[in-house]
Amino acid sequence: MKKKSDTESSDCLGGEPNDIARYIAKAAEVRVPLAVSFELTRRCSFRCVHCYLGDQESIRKHRQQEMDTTSIIKLIDEMASAGVLFLTVTGGDPMIHPDFLEIYRYAVRSGLLVTVFCNGSLITDEIVSTFIQYPPRAVEVTLYGASQATFEAVTQQLGSFAACMAGVERLRQGKVRLRLKTMVLTLNQADLPVLWQRAEAIDVQFRHDCSIIPALANGDNGSHSNAGDNLHDTLRFRLAPEQAAAADLSITQVREKLQERVCMAAPTETGQPSSKLYRCGAGRSSCHITPYGKMQPCLITLQPSFDITAGKEAFQAAWQSISRLIPEQEAGAGFSCNRCKDRSLCTGCPSNFSAETGNAEQAADFYCQYAASRREKSASHEAAVSS
């Protein structure tokens, strides 16, 4: 089941190597869609309590609204022609799609560097063999707990823990480039140190994210919603800001990176805060494609949205529209995030705010308190070590 961290390598505290970061920055300058995240399907073999995609029964009922494989192959051709280099194939779980391997192979053969986000439970020997023959940039698997009890309390799927662990082991045996991660919830927070330790023991990169978001209001193609009446139900499983910061500081690697960020200086290199609302890569060098043939700035930013299935070079036309609208959007006078001293420690963004408060320029309290708590706890730890 997909979550925010399944679509963005954001926290804690991820980042690209310097050479790739420079390449992405250059692409943003000239508005090349260098990186695309593509939900192959929203169907999933899990039913995670915090999933923002909504009810799996509803999603499966309307599966006929997904793009067909012919349209997806056409999309890959158009992405390659437009300059896309990095493609993240996600879901739901993309491996539930009957043509996953055909689509994956075609993307790699087209010259795209493909990362696959999945829950691990559907990884077969055939899939691993394909990954060996056509290596991915990485396969990222989300671990929801260190024990069966915790894991399946989150996924609400009996047998999911064993299936995921078997999938991870298949990837390891095949020497497929693997990354592991978790979403930290009230149900699994006690397992976080163990998950980090296990990943370190097998020399696999690991990250975690505490930023649970509400369910998305949009439906498959806008005709209906897969979420329930209360989009904020998922937030019942989110840690309090102070708990989330404490979870971060409990991990040595994360604590060290946070302390580096505490020392970061002014909001921009010139010392002047940006006037732009969106300061990420959305609409500059990246975008998101839904399973229903819509391009939007990112997974959480639902508008503007453009059809990429109609007509020749529809992907490029949609990209030109998004890259014109999003990067130049000015923040209102009341938007204080760009001037905030805790910005380098904050996991929030206008997309998160819109999902939680209904207003992209109204910061949700959770993110402000989380960032402040990160700063305070980092400073306290540094002072304790120095004394």
Residue 112: predicted pLDDT: 98
Which of the four pLDDT bands, split at 50, 70 and 90, describes residue 5? very low
Mean pLDDT for the chain overall: 90
Buried b (16+ CB within 10 A) or exposed e, 200-227: eeeebebbbbbbbbbbbebbbeeeebbb
Query: Average pLDDT for residues 185-213, to the nearest whole number?
Result: 98
State residue 272's pLDDT score.
Answer: 65
**pLDDT score at 84:** 97
CATH of 4-333, one of 3.20.20.70, 3.40.50.1370, 3.40.309.10, 3.90.1640.30: 3.20.20.70
Q: Say if residue 242's pLDDT is above 80.
A: yes
Q: Using one digit for the tens of pLDDT, what is the confidence trace for 89-140?
A: 999 999 999 999 999 999 999 999 999 999 999 999 999 999 999 999 999 9
Contact 196, 165 (CB under 8 A): no
Query: What is the C-alpha to C-alpha distance for residues 135 and 114, in angstroms, rounded to an integer?
Result: 8
Task: Give me the phi and psi of 309, to 5 degrees please.
Answer: -105, -15
pLDDT tens digit string along 215-237? 987 654 445 556 556 789 999 99
Give the C-alpha separation, 241 to 184, whole Å.
12
- Give the three-state DSSP class for 18: helix
Q: What is the pLDDT of residues 57-75, one digit of tens each?
A: 888 888 888 999 999 999 9
Please report, for the chain, the start and end positions of each structural domain, with discontinuous segments joined by +.
Answer: 4-333
What pLDDT is stored for residue 312 in this prediction?
83
Single pTM value for the model: 0.90
